[in-house]
């Protein structure tokens, strides 16, 4: 097993009257994409800010390559914040150059321009960038010092589906370079698509951690049948493998064909039936009772 690049042990963060983080431990291995997930107010952002070195833990320790966070850590990591203010009246190439000068060493800017697909917008005022263009520029800025670890804090929030998927492809290219990624996101499809490992946080604690596909398989059978409540016969109680969620009934089954036969025999309407593979959002809902909120 490879040693952890970044490790946290027993992290706590206490604010007046609130324990935002309550004993979180995790490790991020070199080259992986690690996802930190949780609803608003779960302690996710506070945990991330401690891992980034922005906030100081009340208790616990954080190690980067086996050592406490220091100036060397700041030189070797990059951060793409949820919101980053760029200098007004500045062009894209000027923004890149300015941030590169903040570090003792920096990436080859021409390679970075190609990696993040910035060539066509180099002379554009940063105030006139689309959402996707702005996020590509902010990623380039986060990579400008050639970090071994980059923090991506909800990088695709507000992007349209096409721009979001384009950004996923860009993250794949970053990983191919050997860069380790710590990602927070409210999009479960994104986490399932990109992350080798996830930790789901709620009320300041980690509820579960591991490979997302394995976690889903451990918690759910092969399929979830979803149908409207009105389709269920009123004289039939819900079986143990079924739950009502708002206006829908969900049945968790391993044998879809057999389940459909039983539903037909009891007179259930199958017109609006949907068969889904259990997802990361299903896992989150089961563990926390919350939908992830953007």
Domain boundaries, the chain: 6-216, 221-277
Q: What is the 3-state secondary structure (H, E, C) of 123-186?
A: CCEHHHCCHHHHHHHHHHHHCCCCCCEEEEECCCCCCCHHHHHHHHHHHHHHHHCCCEEEEECC
In this prediction, residue 245 carries a pLDDT of: 85
**Helices 280-288 and 212-219, axial angle in degrees (round to 10):** 60
In this prediction, residue 204 carries a pLDDT of: 94
In a 13 Å sphere around the CA of 41, the CA atoms on its Cβ side amount to 5
Class of domain 6-216: alpha beta
In this prediction, residue 1 carries a pLDDT of: 41
Positions of the chain with pLDDT lower than 70, given as ranges: 1-2, 290-294
In this prediction, residue 41 carries a pLDDT of: 86
Count of beta carbons in the 10 Å neighbourhood of residue 212:
23
């Amino acid at each position: 097993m490879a040693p952890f690049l970044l490790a946290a042990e027993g992290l706590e963060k206490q604010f007046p009257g609130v324990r935002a983080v309550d004993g979180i431990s995790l490790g991020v291995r070199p080259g992986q994409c690690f996802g930190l997930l949780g609803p608003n107010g779960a302690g996710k952002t506070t945990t991330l800010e401690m891992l980034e070195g922005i906030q100081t833990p009340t208790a616990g320790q954080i190690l980067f390559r086996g050592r406490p966070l220091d100036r060397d850590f700041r030189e070797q990591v990059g951060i793409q914040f949820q919101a980053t203010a760029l200098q007004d009246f500045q062009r894209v190439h000027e923004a890149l150059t300015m941030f590169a000068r903040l570090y003792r060493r920096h990436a080859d800017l021409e390679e970075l321009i190609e990696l993040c697909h910035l060539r066509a917008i180099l002379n554009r005022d940063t105030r006139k960038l689309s959402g996707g263009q702005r996020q590509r520029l902010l990623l380039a800025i986060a990579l400008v010092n050639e970090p071994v670890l980059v923090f991506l804090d909800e990088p695709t929030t507000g992007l349209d589906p096409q721009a979001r998927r384009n950004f996923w492809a860009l993250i794949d290219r970053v990983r191919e370079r050997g860069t380790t990624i710590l990602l927070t996101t409210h999009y479960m499809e994104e986490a399932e698509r990109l992350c080798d490992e996830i930790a789901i946080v709620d009320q300041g604690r980690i509820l579960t951690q591991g490979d997302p596909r394995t976690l889903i398989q451990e918690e759910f059978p092969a399929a979830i049948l979803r149908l409207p409540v009105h389709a269920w016969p009123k004289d039939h109680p819900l079986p143990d493998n079924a739950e009502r969620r708002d206006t829908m009934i969900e049945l968790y089954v391993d044998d879809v064909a057999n389940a459909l036969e039983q539903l037909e025999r009891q007179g259930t309407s199958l017109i609006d039936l949907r068969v889904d593979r259990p997802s990361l959002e299903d896992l989150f809902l089961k563990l926390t009772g919350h939908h992830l909120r953007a």
